[in-house]
Amino acid sequence: MSNKERILIKNITIKNCGNFYGEHNIELSDSLDKNFTIIIGTSGMGKSTIFKLIYWCLFGSHYDPKTEVDSTDEGIINSTLLKNLGNGEKTSASVTLDIHDQDGEKYVLSRTLTATSHRETNSKKFDELNNSRINSGIQIISESKMRMTGEEGQQVNEKDTRLIKNAISKLFPENLSDFFLFDGEKLVQFRTKSEAAELIKDGIEKISGLPIVDNLIKNSKNTRDAIISHIADKDSDSSVLAKLLQDTKEEMEKINNTLNDKDVELTKKQLEYDGVVKKIQSNKTGKDIHSQIIVLDKTKKNLTTKITKTESKMKDFLFDNLPELLIRDTLEKSEEIFAKLEDEDKIPPSISRGAIDKILASDPLRCICGRDFQKDDGSWKKLDEIKQIIIDDDISQGITQGRGLISQILDRSMPKKINEIYLELVEDGRSSREEKEKILSDLDDLNEEIKSIEFEDDEDYGQQKKTLWGDISLLTAVIAGWKEDLEDLEIERKAREFKLNTRIEHEKVDITERNKISIIKAVQKFASEKRSEIVDELRNKTEEATNRYFLESAPEKEIFDHVKISSKYDITACDADDYVKELSKGQSHVLGLSYVSGCRQITNTNTFLFIDSPLHNISGDSRNEISQVLSKNLPGVQVVLFVTDSEYLQGDERGAKPVRTYLNPTNKVWKEYQIVKTTANDGVKGKTVEEFKRDV
Amino acid sequence: MVGINKIILEHFSDPNNPKELEEILKSFLEIESSDSMKKTGVDKLYDIILKKYANNEKFVEWCKDYVK
């Protein structure tokens, strides 16, 4: 751990944001040993506000805007300042983060919002134009600034938002923010394996630095394409092939762009849909109807699965039985012919050349059926003919086995029995479809009922839900269509690429260029093969560490034997017989924390870890064990815990001691802060952060 | 999130393969992990590295065999 690059936030300065009126500074630990800083606050005092302001400063976007409608630029600026803003006056709010690495200051990142009042009226007009917003007559402009060291060691103040974003995303990719700004509420996802899978996948495939390998593979391919295209320019045939290939690629890119747009549109519609459903649920009747819809939807899904299974069963059944049914007449005729041949002694029950010879050489002449015959009668002639036909013992065995096989097929392809099974399957499918039709009709009725509910804001959420659902279904179908087109184009691309490569390989081109293609192909193949080995090792290491931490601190840990992370990134805690155990809220919370700590084993950087409400949902004793495990398992990582005073400073009714009494003796805590109410010199009331110095 | 993960580097280092392959992979990984804010023309940088090894017949033959 100690040889990893450390990334930490040394200082946070908040000015006029939320309830933090004026300027407030929080210095955080940069110590390797005492790496914990604690921020204590009662519920609603502003712990999460600080957490979200750090997020906003890093990325310029709002933390979880899906669920928090107030997460806007306006919402960040202190409301007293906004309220008292006279016409033409300005005020500003800002957050500054001093970002350090192991050598000291790396970046100083500031984000500022400046609000200007343009009108005295408090109209509800809302306008959005690039980076400025006008709401209630107030225009808000966002600016960002980053101080860094330039290539020649000079201090540079960068204001280009794009460049700042690039530099920050190298250190903290926004899509991986859960790994350094972790919301304790999300730990409940670890209760079900599939909900956490995305987070686990991100940890293993992204935070580990694997995108570097992915980019290497992608750029190797691009380089190869560029060399091929360069060679093709010198030959007319190759040039035509290269042009065709390029056309296909461009068409694919267009479709991919459309698909991305449609995906964004779909996500937007789904969010709108979720919002409407939430509104419906806020009404009592709406809530009742919606819970009925959920039950019916579940049954509908089960029936759809059943119908699909029955259809697939029927297909398999017909595939197995139809050919035999179709040749049944032929087989029956063949069986008759065999029987006739046997009756006429043309095929004895066991025929062989030796057997015929034996019959022919018998004295007096006698068939195996016991009948006597003479050399000049019909039987003699028939036996002689049969002997001509039988070439060797294998053929005679073949005929016998063939006959046996025909009998077997005829036995098992009884039309009546097949018909019975077929009709059963048809009936199964029919009744499931009927049941589904009935559910669909019930769902329609329930959705109509929602339309008749009178909501407080007079909105027709029932109709909105219906329209949005229609839009979502249509978009899903459109996306599926584009994906099919893309698959066809991929086949075309491969064929065209193959033709072009073959042409180039047989051409008299510069040997150096051709050798470069051979090398880059090998690099691409080697890197692709190694990628899957790397993923396996990353997953194993994460699993090992998560397992260790979980077994040390989980509530009722004795019932667990190991933690597993599957190749699909499902995480489960199992008993000694490898049975997956269902987790309580507290256990899933610990599993999540164990994973968040465990996946740090595979990173190359010791990036800070700020956790909002890490001990939420966990009872006293487990809470204490977890806090000790965190302090033990995250050496050298800057950890900031945002905790409530009740969990940190008080025990619980069952006799568990406060977390502080366990964490402080570990000597890991550098400083504790408490968010308190304050009144500024000008009389404005707000909150501030001050050092908490009470003895343990 | 910067720098190259040791686990990745270890997997890319195989004593059974030609050292040239490892050298190329390391150079490519360095390009990919570069902290430069204006990263353009990666294929050009790759091409320059490939050119250095394109006349090494033994290595090129190994590459041809490997992708067969």
Q: Is the pLDDT of residue A51 over 70?
A: yes
Q: Look at residue A130 and tell me whether its pLDDT is greater than 80.
A: no
- Whether A321 and A418 have beta carbons less than 8 Å apart is answered as yes
* Range from A254-258, A316-320, A546-550 carrying the lowest mean pLDDT: A316-320
In whole angstroms, give the CA distance from residue A562 to residue A543.
9
Determine if the peptide bond prior to A364 is cis (ω within 30°).
yes
Mean local confidence (pLDDT), A131-152: 74
Contact A654, A620 (CB under 8 A): yes
Q: Note the Cα A301 to chain centre separation in Å.
A: 21
Between the two ends of chain B, the Cα-to-Cα distance in Å is 36
The per-residue DSSP string of A124-165 comes to --EEEETTEEEETTEEEEEEEEEEEE-TTS-EEEE--HHHHH
What pLDDT, on a 0 to 100 scale, did the predictor assign at position B35? Answer: 56
Instruction: Enumerate the residues of chain B whose CB falls inside 8 A of the CB of residue A521.
Output: 63, 67
Task: Tell me the C-alpha distance between A310 and A250, whole Å.
Answer: 42
pLDDT band per the 50, 70, 90 thresholds, residue B56:
very high
**What is the pLDDT averaged over residues A320-345?**
78
Confidence of residue A22 (pLDDT cuts 50, 70, 90): very high
Whether A568 has its CB under 8 Å from any CB of chain B: the answer is no
Residue A223 to residue B46, Cβ atoms within 8 A: yes
Residue with tokens 């969990």: A647
pLDDT at A480: 94
Mean pLDDT on A122-142: 55
Residue A538's alpha-carbon distances to A389, A592, B28, in angstroms, are 69, 17, 21
**Which tokens go with A447?**
């959705």
Provide mean pLDDT across the span A10-35.
Answer: 94
Helices A511-553 and A585-598 cross at an angle (nearest 10°) of 140
* Contact criterion met (CB below 8 Å) for A370 and A392: no
* Predicted pLDDT at A132: 40
ipTM value: 0.95
More confident site: A467 or A326? A467
Task: Specify which of A482-491, A628-637, A661-670 reaches the highest per-range mean pLDDT.
Answer: A482-491
Output the average pLDDT for chain A.
84
Model confidence pLDDT, tens digit, residues A286-318: 889 988 998 999 999 999 999 999 999 988 888
Interface of A with B in 5-34 (CB under 8 A): 5
Considering only residues A188 and A635, tell me which one the structure prediction assigns the higher pLDDT. Answer: A635
CB A570 within 8 A of CB A204: no
Instruction: Pick A523 or A208 by higher pLDDT.
Output: A523
B11:A537 CB<8 A: yes
Continuous segment of H or E residues that includes residue A21: strand A20-27
| Count of A-B CB contacts under 8 Å | 125
Does the beta-carbon distance from B32 to A216 stay under 8 Å? yes
Q: Over 80: is that where the pLDDT of B52 sits?
A: yes
pLDDT at position A165: 86
Residues of B in contact with A163 (CB under 8 A): 37
Chain A positions touching B50 (Cβ under 8 A) are: 223, 516, 519-520
For A434-478, the pLDDT digits (tens) are 999 999 999 999 988 888 888 888 888 888 988 999 999 999 999
pLDDT at residue A419 in the model? 86
Residues B7, A537 contacting (CB under 8 angstroms): yes
Q: Does B35 touch chain A (CB under 8 A)?
A: yes
Q: Where along chain B do its domains lie?
A: 6-67
Segment (H or E) for B44: helix B42-53
> Which chain A residues are Cβ-neighbours of B17 within 8 angstroms?
526
pLDDT of amino acid B37: 42
Distance of CA A98 to the CA centre of its chain: 33
Q: Do A534 and B51 touch (CB under 8 A)?
A: no
Stretch A113-139: mean pLDDT: 59
What are the DSSP E strand ranges found in B1-68? none
Q: B48 at the A interface (CB within 8 A)?
A: no
- Over residues A606-630, the mean pLDDT reads 79
Q: In A, residues 141-200, which contact B (CB 8 Å cutoff)?
A: 163, 166-167, 170-173, 176
- Of the pLDDT bands very low, low, confident and very high (cuts 50, 70, 90), residue A391 is very low
B58–chain A Cβ distance below 8 A for any pair? no
| Tokens 């690099």 found at | A523
Which chain B residues touch A516 with a CB distance below 8 Å? 47, 50-51, 54
Q: Provide the percentage of residues in chain A whose pLDDT is more than 90.
A: 34
In terms of Cα–Cα distance, which of A657, A612, A542 is closest to A181? A612
Contact indicator for A262, A269 with CB cutoff of 8 Å: no
Give the CA distances from residue A386 to residues A345, A348, A503, A563, B45, in Å, rounded to whole numbers and listed in that order: 9, 10, 61, 73, 81
Residues A630/A234, Cβ–Cβ less than 8 Å: no
**Chain A residue numbers touching B29 (CB-CB < 8 A):** 212-213, 216
- What is the predicted pLDDT for the residue at A538? 92
Q: What pLDDT does A66 receive?
A: 47
Q: Cα A397 to the chain's mean position, in Å?
A: 59
Q: Is B2 on the interface with A (CB under 8 A)?
A: yes
| Two structure tokens written together for A647 | 């969990």
How confident is the model at residue A176, as a pLDDT? 77
User: Could you tell me what percent of chain A has a pLDDT over 70?
Assistant: 89
8-state DSSP, A580: B
Contacts of A603 in chain B (CB under 8 A): 1, 5
The structure tokens 């408090």 sit at A122
Is residue A203 within 8 Å of A595, Cβ to Cβ? yes
Which residue on chain B is closest to A521 by alpha carbon?
B67
The number of CA neighbours under 13 Å toward the Cβ of A20 is 26
Is B42–A222 a contact, with Cβ atoms under 8 angstroms apart? yes
Q: What is the pLDDT of residue A136?
A: 61
What letter does residue A177 receive in the DSSP assignment?
A: G
pLDDT at A433 over 80: yes
> Mean per-residue pLDDT for A151-167?
83
Q: Which pLDDT belongs to residue A92?
A: 94
The 3-class SS string of chain B reads CCCCCHHHHHHHCCCCCCHHHHHHHHHHHHHHCCCCCCCCCHHHHHHHHHHHHCCCHHHHHHHHHHHC
| Phi, psi (deg, nearest 5) at residue B14 | -125, 115
Range in A74-88, A130-144, A236-250, A323-337 with the lowest mean pLDDT: A130-144
What pTM was estimated for this model as a whole?
Answer: 0.61
